[in-house]
Amino acid sequence: MNIESLRNYCLTKKGVEEGLPFGPDTLVFKVGGKLFLLAALDAVPLQFNVKCEPENAVLLREQYSCVLPGYHMNKRHWNTIICDGTASEKLLQQWIDDSYKLVLDSLPKNLKQQIILEK
């Protein structure tokens, strides 16, 4: 996965906005105004942070060498993923999906419903 395929994948999700609120080196994706993915634009290989259930976050770190505690994030809830080829693109997309769903599910009911009904 590269930055363009990551960006394109994130933007296919309903209600997603992208921005650079932390400066020109960190691309941020939000749903309902809440962060679900940050990507370091200058990192080689590509690295991104995604939200994760705390129990699952630890399991993923034990299972995959490319999964680390979230860099500059709450390490209980965030993982940093290094796109070094050890995890398939399908698996990377699943971790992005999980993060998106966690954040979407945490939104107020009316906002979540509005996003789900978007075209």
Q: What is the pLDDT along the chain (119 residues), one digit of tens a residue?
A: 999 999 999 999 999 999 999 999 999 999 999 999 999 999 999 999 999 999 999 999 999 999 999 988 888 899 999 999 999 999 999 999 999 999 999 999 999 999 999 86
Give the total number of structural domains in the chain. Answer: 1
Give the predicted TM-score (pTM) of the model.
0.93
Q: Taking the C-alpha atoms of 23, 70, 32 and 113 in order, what is their torsion angle to the nearest 10 degrees?
A: 160
Determine the pLDDT at residue 119: 66
Domain, as residue range, for 35: 3-17+26-107
Task: Please give the radius of gyration of the chain, using alpha carbons only, rounded to the nearest integer.
Answer: 14
DSSP 70: P
Please check whether residue 112 lies inside any domain of the structure.
no
Tell me how far apart the alpha carbons of residues 29 and 43 are, in angstroms, rounded to a whole number.
Answer: 17
- The CATH number given to whatever domain includes residue 42 is 3.90.1150.30
Write the CA distances from 31 to 36, 45, 64, 75, integer angstroms: 7, 25, 27, 21
Residue 119 resides in a domain: no
